[in-house]
Structure 1
Amino acid sequence: MVGVKNILIIEDDFFIRDLYQKQFTKEGYAVDTAEDAEIGLEKVRSGQANLILLDIMLPKMSGLDLLKILKAEAALQNIPVVMLTNLGQDNAIKQAFDLGAEGYLVKSAYTPTQVVQEVKGYIK
């Protein structure tokens, strides 16, 4: 579909992943998901993501390690990455922005509808 924006949600918690997938789909976005950073990286490399929502606490590889990889690859570095996590500590937030995250949302501070509204500003 022409004009549809694609979002990749990388989140290990099925309930949260499903919740945000449904919310973004309801708002007219095409949504793909991954349950860990390695699968997420494969999907980013082979897909058409306009934005990545990325959790920090993931199995196998952390979201921050994945962010570092994404921003180091020329073909992927311009895809906006918004961290969506429960880690609200200043050092985690600073590290995410230092690595190139465009946004940082603490899950418990936003409803799914508010997350969609926040993310709209980052989608290219």
Structure 2
Amino acid sequence: MDEGVETVASVLLAEDDSDIRELFARALESAGAAVVAVNSGGEALEALRDAEFDLLVTDMWMPNVSGLDLCKALRADPATARLPILMLSAYGRMRGREEAMLVGATEYLTKPIRPSMLVSKVDALLGGRLTARGK
């Protein structure tokens, strides 16, 4: 977390590509989010057992527990059923979006994604809490 940046939301980021995970985590932290970054759906489930988050950003396709399976599990659990979920994928736009929405994702973005676009979408899902902190 950058020094001097007020934290206004907690975000769990599940992404198996380390370069993308680091890039997105830095962008979200710079915008004021406290980010816990993990590299698999299984690690995301563990993190959700240990802490509450305002939003989950997850890759659709990860080894072992995919983002789709993660989303299904969260929607089936009353404790996480209402957690906003932003699904990311390089998978074909319409088909990927349909699959993500069928398992309960709140929103979907197609990779490649500019960090600024990710921050904007996360901010929208958080009701403007990131941009509001700068006012």
Same fold per TM (> 0.5)? yes
Instruction: Look up the match of 1:116.
Output: 119
3-state DSSP class of the match of 1:76? coil
C-alpha change, 1:113 and 1:89, in structure 2 (3 Å) is: closer
Cα separation, 2, equivalents of 1:87 and 1:119 = 20
Q: Which runs of 5+ in 1 are unaligned?
A: none
- 1:4 lines up with 2:8 in the alignment: yes
Using the TM superposition, give the Cα deviation of residue 92 of structure 1 relative to its aligned residue in structure 2, in angstroms: 2.3
Matches within 5 A, 1:1-124: 4-108=8-112, 110-123=113-126
Cα separation, 2, equivalents of 1:25 and 1:119 = 12
RMSD: 1.5
Deviations 1:24-47 (A, max 9, x none): 011111000110110111101211
Say whether the 8 Å CA contact 1:9–1:17 is kept in structure 2: yes
Deviations 1:5-64 (A, max 9, x none): 000100000000000000001111100011011011110121121000010110112110
3-state DSSP class of the match of 2:125? coil
Q: Which runs of 5+ in 2 are unaligned?
A: 1-5, 128-135
Larger Rg: 2
Identity %: 32
Runs of 4+ in 1 over 6 A off after TM superposition: none
Cα separation, 1, equivalents of 2:123 and 2:93 = 24
TM-score (norm 1): 0.92
